[in-house]
Amino acid sequence: MLVIISAWFSLFVTTVLAPSKHLWALVTTQGFFIAFFSVHWFLLQDFNFSNSLFYIDKFSAPLAILTCWLFPLTMLASQSKIRLEPVNRQRTYIANSTFLQLMTLLAFTTSDLMLFFIFFEASLLPTMIMITRWGAQEQRLEAGTYLAFYTMVGAVPLLIWFTEFYSTHGSVFPTLTNTLHITQATMNYPGLFWVAYNLAFLVKLPMYCLHLWLPKAHVEAPIAGSMILAGTLLKLGGYGILRTSPLIQENTINQALPIMLIAIFGVLTTALLCLRQTDLKSLIAMSSVSHMNLVIAAALISSPWSYAGAMAMMIAHGLTSSALFCLANSFYERTNSRTMILLRGALIAFPLAGAWWLTIILYNMALPPTINFAGEMLIMASLYGWSPLAFLIVALNLIFTTAYTLYVLWTTQRSSLPKHIKTLYPYQTREHLLLFLHILPGFLLILKPELIFP
Ligand SMILES: *[C@@H]1O[C@H](CO)[C@@H](O)[C@H](O)[C@H]1NC(C)=O
């Protein structure tokens, strides 16, 4: 554990000292090494490896590995654009994204909830810097403000609750909760309490109604920012809910029924909203909201199946939406536009990229032999167990998901190239490799899905 964390720190050394010619190659290679060695956490998760600082169990290990895995991919993805900048800016870019991923990783693997809170909030800072410093348009400042305010407002009740918990029980180790026999003081409004202390996580995920910051942040962020945001930062919220849920005893679902309704409604609405988007990146962001609301619903049901579904969904979505952002970015780099109508006819120019689009979008749609399908199945099954009506509503979502999936595919791939496009440079091997490395884990995991089921 410590070895991998120190390897992460050595990335900073590489960033500062590497000769500018080999900077990206060195950082990416080192990232892949770290990712490779982090896979051994899968072996530790069954024994619930824990000490006073690190805690690896079936909730944290898959997400931690995902974080390590996405880092070299973000470096692969951002090379072509950032390389054109002065060397010092390249270095700060790499240092900032390393810092961001490191904070996320530490938040996933720390065993103390107070430290979790600190890392959870610390990830906000580099995200803000990435968006406001390397974003594309001037609206990025607004996006940064939204991000900061939503996140910080959510954080206050969480901090109060953690300190309160610490002062009554003298400890904030989730490992100890089995032995603590928590007796909750009877509260007047248990549902309100649930919402208040989970607000930080609900904002991060984000729940429908609190999601306003997400499309903005995604649209403005540079590619590495988008990938990390969709891939791992949103999962911090889901992880937080799953991790802290044993700390409150009562059956949560009846307390938080309004949240459940909002989540179910949000799944449908955001899927419908996707059909009305013109901006490719904001469509992908909306589809993230839709998927993450399913995770909220699953976390509220809190049965073994729904937890397994939520975990599978988070991992699958981390890979898929990150891949979708890579595809959107590769178009953006060539045409300088995110508007879908200006990207049409890409199949003629890039047939192989068309195949990637098809594959990844089918992943996003949760077609059977993918891990996305496993996650969605489990969540749907546990929803049915809770209420057949809720199941029916979410089943409608499948139709809308298919609809917007086809909508993306049709608008970007079909018909003829727009007239104003004169030059397009071909896809590089780097980009094909990047997309392949996103798809590969999603496929491999379905061969042994127990790895990510808690
Ligand atoms: C992030 O970027 C800012 C501004 O570009 C820079 O001042 C700062 O040192 C960077 N952070 C890290 C951790 O490198």
30 lines ligand 1 (CB under 6 A): no
Distance 431 CA to ligand 1 centre (A): 27
**What pLDDT, on a 0 to 100 scale, did the predictor assign at position 57?**
85
3-state secondary structure of 56: strand
| Residue 91 Cα: closest atom of ligand 1 | 14
Distance 434 CA to ligand 1 centre (A): 26
133 lines ligand 1 (CB under 6 A): yes
Ligand 1, atom 13, residue with closest C-alpha? 96
Q: How far apart are CA 313 and CA 441, in angstroms?
A: 13
- For residue 361 the two structure tokens come to 């979008």
92 lines ligand 1 (CB under 6 A): yes
| Residue 99 Cα: closest atom of ligand 1 | 13
Distance 132 CA to ligand 1 centre (A): 12
Distance 96 CA to ligand 1 centre (A): 6
Residue 315: phi and psi, rounded to 5, are: -65, -45
Please count the CA atoms within 13 angstroms of the CA of 150 that sit on its side-chain side.
22
Closest CA to 97 of 178, 218, 15: 15
**What pLDDT, on a 0 to 100 scale, did the predictor assign at position 179?**
57
**What pLDDT, on a 0 to 100 scale, did the predictor assign at position 183?**
55
**What pLDDT, on a 0 to 100 scale, did the predictor assign at position 89?**
93
User: Considering the entire predicted model, what is its pTM?
Assistant: 0.94
Distance 280 CA to ligand 1 centre (A): 29
**What pLDDT, on a 0 to 100 scale, did the predictor assign at position 361?**
93
| Residue 12 Cα: closest atom of ligand 1 | 14
- Select from 16, 96, 97, 130 the residue to mutate for testing ligand 1; criterion: most ligand atoms less than 8 Å from CB: 96
Distance 223 CA to ligand 1 centre (A): 17
131 lines ligand 1 (CB under 6 A): no
Residue 306: phi and psi, rounded to 5, are: -70, -35
**What pLDDT, on a 0 to 100 scale, did the predictor assign at position 25?**
93
Distance 11 CA to ligand 1 centre (A): 14
- Select from 85, 92, 100 the residue to mutate for testing ligand 1; criterion: most ligand atoms less than 8 Å from CB: 92
Ligand 1, atom 9, residue with closest C-alpha? 92
pLDDT digit string, tens, across residues 84-96: 999 999 999 999 9
**What pLDDT, on a 0 to 100 scale, did the predictor assign at position 182?**
57
Q: How far apart are CA 79 and CA 225, in angstroms?
A: 13
Cβ partners under 8 Å of residue 172, min gap 6: 112, 113, 114, 162, 165, 166
125 lines ligand 1 (CB under 6 A): no
Judge whether 96 and 222 are in contact, CB under 8 Å.
no
Closest CA to 236 of 328, 306, 154: 154
Cβ partners under 8 Å of residue 386, min gap 6: 253, 301
Distance 94 CA to ligand 1 centre (A): 9
pLDDT digit string, tens, across residues 285-343: 999 999 999 999 998 888 889 999 999 999 999 999 999 999 999 999 988 888 888 88
14 lines ligand 1 (CB under 6 A): no
Q: Return the sign of the alpha-carbon dihedral for residues 304, 266, 145, 140.
A: positive
Judge whether 194 and 255 are in contact, CB under 8 Å.
yes
3-state secondary structure of 366: coil
122 lines ligand 1 (CB under 6 A): no
**What pLDDT, on a 0 to 100 scale, did the predictor assign at position 252?**
63
Q: Which parts of the chain have pLDDT scores under 50?
A: none
Q: Compute the radius of gyration of the chain from its Cα atoms.
A: 21
Ligand 1, atom 6, residue with closest C-alpha? 92
At 301, which amino acid appears?
I
